Amino acid sequence: MKLVRFGLVGQEKPGLIDNEGRVRDLSAIIPDLAGEHLSADTMGKLASLDTNTLPLVEGTPQQDLRLGACVNKVGKFICIGLNYADHAAESGMPVPAEPVIFSKWTSAIVGPNDDVKIPKGSEKTDWEVELGVIIGEGGSDIDEADAMKHVAGFCVINDVSERAFQLEGTGTWDKGKGCDTFGPTGPWLVTPDEVGDSNDLGIWLEIDGKRYQNGSTSTMVFKVPHLIAYCSRFMSLQPGDIISTGTPPGVGLGLNPPLYLKGGEEMKLGIDKLGVQCQKVVKA
């Protein structure tokens, strides 16, 4: 299934993408794509619905029908740094011996086609396309062999980053990663049965039509089950938490010379089977 949240900012409703690519309203079935409504039981009930009996929503998603972030009420937005060996190299950092964990503030989360705002004082706003994992069943100290049982679905994440805030002065990764609009999420939550092998998906990003990132999740240093198990050692994972799994090479920081967003650009990014995002970059 492809599950979405559609509507105006703050008024989103849950929906499902039918076989014709149209949105069907799920708000009579579940109140939102959040928390307990991401459980395996709920996903099973949604999968058993006759899609044709659900109300049809007017408009074309991502055109004249806005999509919000595909999950709401996110408790933790967990990110993994340097999880592609070639991205670590372009960043001038060693491949980590174990996953590097940091957080984005949940206030960074926006819809997949909402504007990305360059914060005041920024001179080094950058892009990072990433595979997002949405937790459906919570737990701590999760065994890697059982990790995928805790996944509600996958999505596209743009881990927008301000490198000076992140790396210079008193910079920290969370400060450089958590600015408002720095977490476009979606367009949809795709359930694991439809994704198949999440460790073998093409992943890419373009700025104004020029492709800068073009990789595959097969080159991740640490795969999804390991990341879930590892993170759950240090915090309980809860329904609706997101794990953003790292980015392939081609970010602005790694170019020679480096290239950063100034405002007016269009970012377009996607992952096989998970859809495409497109954001206009504007100055705050």
Domain boundaries, the chain: 73-283
How many angstroms separate the Cα of 280 from the Cα of each of 104, 120, 207? Answer: 21, 17, 10
Domain covering 73-283, topology:
Fumarylacetoacetate hydrolase; domain 2 (3.90.850)
pLDDT at 80: 96
What is the pLDDT tens value at each position of the chain, 284 positions in all?
Answer: 999 999 999 999 999 999 999 999 999 999 999 999 999 999 999 999 999 999 999 999 999 999 999 999 999 999 999 899 877 777 787 888 999 999 999 999 999 999 999 999 999 999 999 999 999 999 999 999 999 999 999 999 999 999 999 999 887 889 999 999 999 999 999 999 999 999 999 999 999 999 999 999 999 999 999 999 999 999 999 999 999 999 999 999 999 999 999 999 999 999 999 999 999 999 98
pLDDT at 196: 95
The CA distance from 202 to 134, in Å, is: 19
pLDDT at 88: 75
Q: Where are the beta strands (DSSP E) in the chain?
A: 2-6, 13-17, 23-25, 77-81, 100-104, 109-110, 116-118, 125-126, 129-135, 151-158, 161-162, 183-184, 189-190, 202-207, 210-216, 242-244, 266-271, 275-283
pLDDT at 90: 78
Q: Which SS3 state, helix, strand or coil, does residue 147 take? A: helix
Alpha-helical regions (H) of the chain: 40-47, 85-90, 163-167, 173-177, 192-195, 224-234
Compute how many other C-beta atoms are within 10 angstroms of the C-beta atom of residue 134.
25
pLDDT at 170: 82
Compute how many other C-beta atoms are within 10 angstroms of the C-beta atom of residue 194.
13
The CA distance from 83 to 80, in Å, is: 6
